Structure 1
């Protein structure tokens, strides 16, 4: 990378310009689309560079990474958001370190989170993850079960349900990707009509966020376009 692309601040400015372009094309206000930087696999130095650029809230797939980074960067008072598939045995750590979970997709997880949060004496914002793609590797609640699930979640006082999240199908066909996002938007409308305040839609990542914005996303989760190529360990 050269020039502005060599710094987080430069990449952030480029992403925000692309968000603005996508919003203008969709007839939307760029201020209505929130950006969640996804720092998974990147170390504390990368996060601190993002903090220096003004970011305070970060998405992570693994609770172990949140624990490590939250401890190392405790003085920064950052907000950590769980966006990956979550096991019930991680509920205690989530209750201690996370400010939000965007991947709530089953009742046993809700039970575990509520119990752990009540023990901590706190509440947590959550988004319900719906499976709108056909890929077996993707997690999420069956959309047909959404209204029943939202009804059940009313029994858990520590879980503040704020909206819905999805992962689009990994496809080169824009119509397929758009369908995933449109399905989430339509299920949000059904839930609202049924009396549930699920206002937020978290959908869209580095490779497809323009399509997500066109289909109504108000939060996009951006990793590689901000932090660079992922560094996975074997």
Structure 2
């Protein structure tokens, strides 16, 4: 099932790139493996997938302890500052930076390991109370504030659009995130040149690609529905 699902997702990505006049190489598929067993991840790896996303620090630690092959692991879920210490050397990028305390802790832990951590600023484009993220109006000031950290590389922005039956309804949020990235880049903040937009999930990644996504985060569309009762 995973092989067939991946073939369909790949075909959809290629079609969306073609419609948008983009090169397929501009879009990276992140296979979101949260709650899924290592056997499913290995099945995806056998199909050539090398980039995986996890929502919980403990899960990413457990899975990277078992899977030692060279993969790119992305921390895409809400992150508490006290868990950051487990991520250097494990996650290649953190997608969910949305407060100064968290950014400062990433700086501290990255400095300890003498690395620069790639991060994305999470923006709550739809102003949903149930979601984390900086308000779009505050994003530029927030980027400026955390840009002083020398061990953080602000690569771009991330958003989680509303769940919807109609992917077109999320186009406005994806377009808005791209415009926000361009606006912040135009500010020429020292040390900040953002090239990354993490947006679009199983239900709407094609629209996100049409609006400029460079990372799409697909879980259910690859691995099937999740069982949260385990």
Tell me, yes or no, whether TM beats 0.5.
Answer: yes
Corresponding residue to 1:62 among 49, 56, 59: 56
Q: Is the Cα–Cα contact under 8 Å of residues 34 and 218 in structure 1 kept in the other structure?
A: yes
**Aligned residue for 2:113?**
120
2:42 pairs with 1:35: no
Corresponding residue to 1:15 among 9, 19, 23: 9
The aligned length equals: 227
Structure 2 residue runs without a partner (length 5+): none
- In structure 1, what is the Cα distance between the partners aligned to 2:165 and 2:3? 29
- 4+ residue stretches of structure 1 with deviation over 3 A? 172-176
* Structure-2 change in CA distance of 1:100 and 1:149 (3 Å): same
Q: Is the Cα–Cα contact under 8 Å of residues 38 and 222 in structure 1 kept in the other structure?
A: yes
Superposition RMSD on alpha carbons, in Å?
Answer: 1.5
**Which aligned pairs between 1:53-202 and structure 2 lie closer than 5 A?**
53-74=47-68, 76-195=69-188, 196-202=192-198
**Aligned residue for 1:232?**
228
* Structure-2 change in CA distance of 1:134 and 1:155 (3 Å): closer
Structure 1 residue runs without a partner (length 5+): 1-5
- In structure 2, what is the Cα distance between the partners aligned to 1:15 and 1:171? 19
Secondary structure of 1:95 counterpart: coil
Q: Is the Cα–Cα contact under 8 Å of residues 164 and 203 in structure 2 kept in the other structure?
A: no
1:95: how far off?
A: 2.2
- In structure 1, what is the Cα distance between the partners aligned to 2:152 and 2:119? 6
**Aligned residue for 1:3?**
none
Relative to total residues, which structure has the larger helix share, 1 or 2? 1
Q: Is the Cα–Cα contact under 8 Å of residues 38 and 221 in structure 1 kept in the other structure?
A: yes
